[in-house]
Amino acid sequence: MSSWVPGAAESGFGPSHLPYGVVTTPGGHPELAVRIGDHALSLARLHDMGKLDGVVPHAVEVFDIGSLDGLLERGPDQWAAVRRRLTEIVTDPAEELMAHEAMLHLVDTTALLPWTVADYVDFYSSEHHATNVGRIFRPDADALTPNWKHLPIGYHGRAGTVVVSGTEVVRPNGQRKPPHEESPVFGPSRRLDVEVEVGFVVGAGSSQGTAVPASDFTEHVFGVVLVNDWSARDIQAWEYVPLGPFLAKSFATSVSAWVTPLEALASARVAPPAQDPTPFPYLDDPDPWALDLRLSLELERGGASAVVSRPPFATTYWTPGQQLAHLTVNGASLRTGDLYASGTVSGPEVGQRGSFLELSWGGREPLVVEGLGEVAFLEDGDVVTIRGEATAVDGGTLTLGEVVGRIRPAV
Ligand code: CA
């Protein structure tokens, strides 16, 4: 598939990708757009020109609200219809002259959070991650808790503090208890960390009281973002017993500015890892798949930068469909805009761990990174970038929207 947009195919944002975002220009309004190459193609402007007429009913409520929310709630038939029309526009040379008027250079725009995050759930579905964390936090017990292979463990996070890539993150204050002190102390976290994750954006909701099976995944889930679940390990270690993560996580969670539609990842589906024991029937997925997303974690410190890890998402034990089935099995409803994240993605190798907690083994074995020196946890001024790529439906390489964030000092 080729596009009249110069450089699009090689950019990872070619015509077979078309992720959705919301951008503004100085003095302008937020505009729903798709990314192609280093441009945002404004759906608001295309609609004004009449180029999207007849694609969906009540089109104003989809294309002119400066948010992805209007499209999300429409469901898979209308998602596909919009995508078909946009694909025509970016691939048909006859469309270039008009559509050019709707193209914005990304450098002239600011990306906003593309949708209103409704509820936010974070899982813990990487066996390698859970095993590493178990060994670090509970060295005298089994690495995996007894429930781990029976259900995808998760918790509810704070939707209101999900921020778009590029937002600076203020180091959180909180309680921590240094291991050799009698009492907890209060102050800025000293063990600020990242979690490399993949997030799923729910489009069409469901009714309360009705479970959503894994086989209905594509009826509800619209697309994928990269997620950085910033984590304060010292606050976490003191507060998490017995109810789980709370303030160690809720200060900020960063997501990509561009939401990749599931359709664009059809060629990235691979067989998931084998599961033993066999899960309950409600976790059955008749057509189970994992996503072969090749992730990377880059740290920039003091003007130097290096990729410190390459987590492979395909190794994640619980599938996205099983996560969806589990989070609704009790009758909890889905809402348009819900975000659920995979949990930290770690592979079997040292260089595939998706957090500094694991990379530095609880801070006891700092990484030595060329150009950066010894690295354990995050320092003020550090910049973290999570990237991801996958095979596109046309056989090329698709680049997921990156997630970047700089650490600001505590207040
Ligand atoms: Ca997490």
- CA 259 to chain CA mean position, Å: 9
Look up residue 383 and give its amino acid. Answer: V
Total count of residues recorded for the chain? 411
Residues in contact with 348: Cβ distance below 8 Å, sequence separation at least 6, in sequence order: 128, 315
Asked whether residue 5 is domain-assigned, the answer is: no
Ligand 1 midpoint to CA 308 (Å)? 18
Q: From ligand 1's centre to the CA of 43, what distance in Å?
A: 33
CATH of the domain at 76: 2.30.30.230
Q: In what order do the strands lie in the sheet with 20-24?
A: 103-105, 39-42, 31-36, 20-24, 110-112
Give the residue among 262, 207, 231 at the shortest CA–CA distance from 393.
262
Instruction: Assess if residue 9 is contained within a domain.
Output: no
Q: What contacts 47, CB < 8 A, 6 or more positions away?
A: 59, 60, 63, 64
Asked, for residue 162, whether it belongs to a domain, the answer is: yes
Are residues 93 and 164 both part of a single domain? no
CA of 115 from ligand 1 middle (Å) equals 20
The whole domain housing 263 covers: 120-408
Cis, bond preceding 288 (omega within 30 deg of 0)? no
Check whether residue 89 and residue 148 sit in a common domain: no
Q: Which residues are 223's β-sheet partners?
A: 201, 261
Q: Note the pLDDT of residue 168.
A: 98
- Quick one: 370 and 291 in the same domain? yes
Of 112, 145, 169, which residue is a domain's last?
A: 112
Q: In terms of domains, do 260 and 301 share one?
A: yes
Domain boundary among 85, 112, 139: 112
Same domain, 62 and 124: no
Residue that the structure tokens 């302008």 belong to: 28
Q: Is residue 1 part of a domain?
A: no
Which pLDDT score, from 0 to 100, does residue 9 have? 84
Residue 6 lies in a domain: no
Query: Which pLDDT belongs to residue 1?
Result: 81
Instruction: Looking at the structure, tell me whether residues 91 and 126 fall in a common domain.
Output: no
pLDDT computed for residue 355 by the predictor: 98
Q: Active-site positions? A: 129
Q: Rounded to the nearest whole angstrom, what is the distance from the C-alpha of residue 366 to the centroid of ligand 1?
A: 21
Pair of tokens at residue 392:
């596109």
Give me ligand 1 centre to Cα 331, in Å. Answer: 24
- Could you tell me if 347 and 214 lie in one domain? yes
Residue 404, CB-side half-sphere exposure with 13 Å CA sphere: 9
- Residue 81 is predicted with a pLDDT of 98
Domain presence at residue 403: yes
Residues 255 and 337 in one domain: yes
Q: Report, as ranges of residue numbers, the positions in the chain whose pLDDT lies below 70.
A: none
Q: State in Å: Cα 194 to ligand 1 middle.
A: 9
- Pick from 251, 254, 294, 240: which is nearest to 406 by CA? 254
pTM of the model: 0.98
Number of domains forming the structure of the chain: 2
User: Would you say 86 and 305 are in contact if contact means Cβ atoms under 8 Å apart?
Assistant: no
Q: Which domain-ending residue is among 95, 112, 129?
A: 112
**218: exposed, middle or buried (Cβ count in 10 Å: 0-12, 13-18, 19+):** middle
